[in-house]
Amino acid sequence: MSLKVLVVDDSSVMRSIIIKSLRMSGIPLESVIQAGNGKEALAALEQNPIDLVLVDINMPVMSGDELIVEMRQRPALSVIKVIVVSSDHTDTRMEQLGALGVPIIHKPFNPGQLKDLIISLTGVSHGESSQETAF
Amino acid sequence: MKIIVGIADMKHSNSREDSIVTHALGSCLGITIFDPSTGVGGMLHVMLPQSSIDPDKAAENPFMFVDSGVPRLFMEAYKLGAQKGRLEVRVAGGASTHGNPDDDYFQIGKRNVVMLRKLLWKNGVMIKAEEVGGTASRTMTLDLATGEVRLRINGVDHTL
């Protein structure tokens, strides 16, 4: 199975770094699309089937935690896996993110750490074949 | 003619005179598809979410599992002339098999629904109507004359 990934960060430089890490991780990718904030991400999720969202927290317009809450309230989006990519290490923030029940990877991270987290979350690893037939 | 769909079974028709029926939808899912232009309709009655738990059984009867049955439901309808973009999808079942859903440790009904939503989402298919969850057993009927889907719970009919 190849993953369809949405990368959400208000920094285009950070989006590029995350996407480069994804490609270097060896995780099979079908597609990677980008959004600059939570609102743009919701629009992208409505238009594209996505397996995994990598999301920053502190963003203008709509933050990452607001996006996660919104996704949880929509049945079609609630099944999508989410990883928070954050540089905020404060205890308060960690508690807030823990309450949302999503795994967190801290910046800076390396492709191997990202790969381990994605495999543990999705079960997808390099070379895995899909049991599902597209229709 | 009334066409009966058994448990872990699938049927299709393109006759406006037919109706397709399945009984005893508890934690199982009943999934109907209907193309209003061609009158092609189909119904699937699946029991479990994922074929990976028993690939031998899935090979023997793919209609037992959501991930192996649903693609066949669509592919067979295409063979009869249905088009994906026109298909109306309706879903019923996915109930808890316990009186109190909190005691339903395996949550098969809920997992069936999650698997189906994920699969349809991946394939760009929207659900037109659904009635899932609860604890009641449902009978589901697809009327190919109109495309209407009716549900019967405890002897009372309503339209989905």
Q: What's the pLDDT at A89?
A: 67
Q: How far is A135 from chain B (nearest CA, A)?
A: 5
Is residue B159 flagged as an active site residue? no
CA pair distance A131, B10, nearest whole angstrom: 20
Q: Which residues of B touch A (CB under 8 A)?
A: 50-52, 67-68, 70-72, 74-75, 84, 114, 117-119, 121-124
Average pLDDT value for residue range B134-152: 95
ipTM of the complex: 0.73
Mean pLDDT of each 10-residue bin along chain A, 135 residues long: 90 92 87 96 93 93 93 88 83 73 84 82 55 77
The predicted-structure confidence for B56-100, as pLDDT tens digits, reads as follows 778 889 999 999 999 999 999 999 999 999 999 999 999 986 666
Q: What's the pLDDT at A129?
A: 39
Of B68, B114, B122, the CB nearest to A49: B122
Measured from the Cβ of residue A24, the count of other Cβ atoms closer than 10 Å reads: 13
Q: Tokens standing for A53?
A: 């969202």
Q: How far is B78 from chain A (nearest CA, A)?
A: 10
Tell me whether residues A135 and B114 touch, CB distance under 8 A: no
Q: How far is B123 from chain A (nearest CA, A)?
A: 7
Measuring CA to CA, how many Å separate B42 from each of A8, A40, B84, B87, B125? 39, 37, 13, 10, 15
Of B71, B117, B118, the CB nearest to A133: B71
What percent of chain A shows pLDDT beyond 70? Answer: 90
SS3 sequence of B56-103: HHHHHCHHHEHHHHHHHHHHHHHHCCCCHHHCEEEEEECCCCCCCHHH
CB pairs under 8 A between A and B: 34
Q: Which residues of A touch B (CB under 8 A)?
A: 49, 51, 75-76, 79, 131-135
Supply angle C-alpha B51, A47, B33, rounded to 5: 50
